[in-house]
Structure 1
Amino acid sequence: MDFKNVLTPRGFLSLGGVVLVLVGVLGYVGIIGPTPDQSLFGTFWWFDNAENFAHTVLGVVALLAVYMVKDAGIHKFLALAVGALALVVGLYNLMGEVMVLGANLESPADTVLHLVVGVWGLWAGLKGKA
């Protein structure tokens, strides 16, 4: 894993990919979802199966890009794309309890998480060294 500088596109994809896959798997197996009753955090923070699917797929794509794609330009594009997507989801979630492509985003923790990841991805893509 390339965790040396998480503010670079490659570092963002490495650490972000691992975290996304971990969150997706933990959500599927009943540790942080797929229902509030099954989450360690209860109704405060849980991930439904649509979120688990999205997190797992995005995490796998990020990790595949880190290991299979050597072009730093593609790493930068992916960091910007994931950052922009997360920021849009976070801003959309500011409207209250919403559904995004079947994912139930009803917790303020979802909003904060997506906004932080969005800013991190955009920063890594725009300011981080490739």
Structure 2
Amino acid sequence: MSGTGEVLRVTATDAALALIDRLAARHGPLMFHQSGGCCDGSAPMCYARGEFIVGDYDRLLGHIGGMPFYISGPQFEYWQHTQLIIDVVPGRGGMFSLEGPQGVRFLTRSRLFTDEEWAVLEAGELR
């Protein structure tokens, strides 16, 4: 939970936040989308804000580095019991994701919510 008792559905490591800052300095406001797509698997994709059309079934999960992070509806159903932790690892990212030329890629790690966190979410905070 955050310091305010809010349950965060998505967070980012310090390395991911630093990369977000670098990408935002170069490309302006960003947005993220966690999909279950066929081409790039289920990698979190980073776009210049407005370069990806958010669909009717996409959900705003939260913000990382001040940037909105969306997830597709079917992926949300699968991941709803977990907190997504966005990290950075060496390697090539998704072909459309902005970090690709940096030689690193965003990676989604996850952990199950605790019973206490799940109770907060079940009470309607983000469900």
Mark yes or no: TM-score above 0.5: no
Q: TM-score, normalised by structure 1?
A: 0.29
Which protein is richer in strand relative to its size? Answer: 2
TM-score, normalised to structure 2's length? Answer: 0.30
Higher helix share: 1
